[in-house]
A and B are shown apart, each in its own frame.
Chain A
Amino acid sequence: MFSAGLFNVVAAFVLVSVFVAACVAPLVRAAYRARVKRLMGLNQVQPRPDRWWQTGAARNQPNRIEPVLLSAEDSLATAKRSERRIARATAAAWLAFVLFAPWVLAWSDPSAGWVSRLEFAVVAGLLALGPALVNLPLRWRRVTGIAAIVALIALFLAVSSLQPETVDLVPDAEEEDWPAWVYYLLVGFAAWVYLSMFRQRIRGQVIPLAFVSAVFALVFALPLGLLEPYLGSCLTPVAEASGAAAGQATFSGLAGATLSMIGLWAAFRVLGVVAGAIERGWIGELSMVSLVGLGVVASTLVLGITPEDPALATTRPGWLSLSWFGLTAAVYVVFLGRTNATAAGLPLLMLRVFSADKRKHDLLHQIQERWRYFGAVDQAGGPDLIDFNVGPYACAKFMGGSLHDLYLPEAVSGDKLMGRFNHSPDREGRYRINEMFNFNTSWRGNVEQLILNSQTILLDVRGLTAEREGTSFEVGLLARHALLGRVVAVGDGETDWAHIGGRLAEHGRRLEELSRCEVVDRSSLDQLIDKLLQIPSRKGS
């Protein structure tokens, strides 16, 4: 198995795992969505034992910190500093990855000329854009991505025109006796797999699945490969004693079954460790996607550089890949520096209609991604936002069969509820998106507690009419508890404000007390953010 070199085998397993994960991820997402719907339909028939709440409390966040109430201007300035800090570190890391690339090629293939090294650096820069853009603030990604791609392609064309000497970064289809369409199909597959690692709607499943597949494959295959030179002599007496086919089949079956179970156990343990690290804030969720993507890109590029000397295939590609990745990560950490953000920021509660409308999701996603530089985002979990909010932790819980542990079976006190949310920033200064999951018997009570314990509330009433009541329950709660001063309502052309006014009047409130907004473009989104930031400084909120 290792005749091609240990690194090549490991890298190939990782790539196949990513490919398998990209193929399977839509199915996992569909299964996750179905599971969420069914769990939300559960009714509690008996109270949980106290012990369950105590183990649940162990997951609660210690040292609940009260939100820091800054002025809108100070909040904006703080958020901008965080965004710039992360963007600066990301840009520095990407640049470092590109600048190291020529040396990586030189070390792997000393005969490569400087033009080839530059071309390799450009290709590395293009492939590293995916991991870099994921880590940037959402509103900067498109422009930065387009500008970088245009610049790199222009550079590649300029460099290629200088000299004809090139290095074989990809196999020549004619030399490999492949039809051209097979080669293009493979390139298309590779591009699809690459994009799956970074696309918002699917990466939350692809990355955890890739972890599980890769660890399983490596735990299953590496021992067999390492023992391969010895297995033959071990199997001979077994085959002679009991008949070659039966003995070998039994041994193979037992070995395969044992390694499979060990592999599955190890895979889910590793995933659990990674998910735990994200939950503890040691690494951000976006940075984890970025780092994994960068690791795959680095190992793929090194794999693609075929060394002339077979002996180099055993050790140097592995160290090369690790060093390249490690140095890039180190540059990121150095430029990121230490964050002073330890306070709880300004948490935002998002109340929304469970809708299948992707346009509604897009706006909520934009608001989430902007707000997480000001403070945490709290919301009721549901099947509609799975495309955006399923991260490694939730995916690990789902694949491990314990997603139901995240669901509250009954209405709880405000302290108990808020203790389940994490309002502190991660080490990079980004805040979390907290989702509250409920059974059918608990959601009303817990939504009420969530509203009572939130200082800044976004109420999504887009499309709310008398026929489609959506967040009417929440509107009634806000009016009953006289909390309209904490709210900004987002509507659209379909919103029946008169109906909302009627709901408010049932509890003695007026529509004029409700701050309203309609978001149609970026500047109106900025206005919405500004209105939300001003809530804490409003008198009587």
Chain B
Amino acid sequence: MEGAELSRLSLYVSKSGRSVLHYSGFSFLAAIFPVVWALHRRLYGIAALALVYAIALGVLIGGWPPAVQALVIVAQVVLFGFTANRLHAFLLERRGWVLTASELPQAGEGEG
């Protein structure tokens, strides 16, 4: 998908030497499986919250009309998909992780 990527890849590194990849843009994984997305990013607190949210949502909208259920799910997909990666970057920078590499070309970089 060269030239048609939906996200930019970056690398963050913590002071303790741990590193993690970050994707910008819309996240299909977060939109559909937010718990798996959070676990993959090692955001265990977010994963637990997402799990509780999923169970609570299931109980809450279980008796609602199907059309309303579908609306709620679509809203969730859009909201999670667009905000997940921003949340990830926010949490990383808040915890002191540093952006050390990116797909954006450096000034003056001629070729790979």
Contact = CB atoms under 8 A, between A and B. Distances in A.
Contact of A54 (B17, B19, B98, B101): B17
A43 B103 CA distance: 6
18 contacts: A37-B2, A40-B112, A42-B9, A42-B102, A44-B101, A45-B100, A46-B99, A51-B15, A52-B13, A53-B17, A257-B35, A401-B20, A401-B40, A402-B19, A404-B11, A404-B19, A409-B11, A439-B101
B104 A51 contact: no
Contacts of A253: 55, 58
Given A39-B9, A54-B17, 16 more contacts: A42-B102, A43-B104, A43-B105, A44-B101, A45-B100, A45-B101, A45-B106, A48-B19, A49-B98, A51-B16, A52-B13, A56-B17, A250-B59, A401-B41, A404-B11, A404-B19
Nearest to B98: A46
Most buried by A among B13, B17, B101, B102: B101
Interface string B76-111: 000000000000000000000011111111100100
Contact of B100 (A37, A254, A409): A409
A452 interface: no
A401 B21 contact: yes
B39 interface: yes
B46 interface: no
Given A43-B109, A440-B112, A52 B17 contact: yes
B73 interface: no
A41 B103 contact: yes
Contacts of A40: 112
B112 A41 contact: yes
B32 interface: no
Interface string A432-443: 000000011101
A254 B55 contact: yes
A264 interface: yes
A402 B98 CA distance: 17
A405 interface: yes
A47 interface: yes
B55 A48 contact: no
Interface string A30-42: 0000100111111
A68 interface: no
A273 B100 CA distance: 30
A39 B19 CA distance: 13
Contacts of A54: 17
B39 A261 contact: yes
A404 B21 contact: yes
A250 B39 contact: no
Contacts of A440: 109, 112
Interface of A is mostly: helix
Most buried by A among B11, B39, B98, B104: B11
A47 B99 CA distance: 9
Interface of A: 34, 37-49, 51-56, 246, 250, 253-254, 257, 261, 264, 401-402, 404-405, 409, 439-441, 443
A310 to B, nearest CB: 40
Contacts of B42: 401
User: 5 shortest A-B CB distances, which residue pairs?
Assistant: A51-B17, A52-B17, A55-B17, A42-B101, A440-B112
A49 B39 contact: no
Contacts of A409: 11, 100-101
Nearest to B62: A246
A257 B98 CA distance: 33
Contacts of A37: 2
Nearest to B7: A38
Contacts of B104: 43, 45
Nearest to A442: B101
Contacts of A254: 55
A44 B42 CA distance: 23
Contacts of A51: 15-17
B65 to A, nearest CB: 19
Contacts of B55: 250, 253-254
A42 B11 contact: yes
Interface string B41-57: 11000000001000100
Contacts of A56: 17
B36 to A, nearest CB: 9
Nearest to A50: B17
Interface in B19-44: 19-21, 35, 39-42
Interface string B1-19: 1100100010101111111
A439 to B, nearest CB: 6
Contacts of B99: 45-46
B5 to A, nearest CB: 8
A220 to B, nearest CB: 15
A43 B100 contact: no
A301 B20 CA distance: 44
Contact of A38 (B15, B58, B103): B103
A405 B100 CA distance: 13
Given A55-B17, A246-B59, A264 B101 contact: no
A47 B104 CA distance: 16
B9 A49 contact: no
Contacts of A246: 59
Given A43-B103, A45-B99, A45-B106, A38 B9 contact: yes
Contacts of A45: 99-102, 104, 106
Contacts of A401: 20-21, 40-42
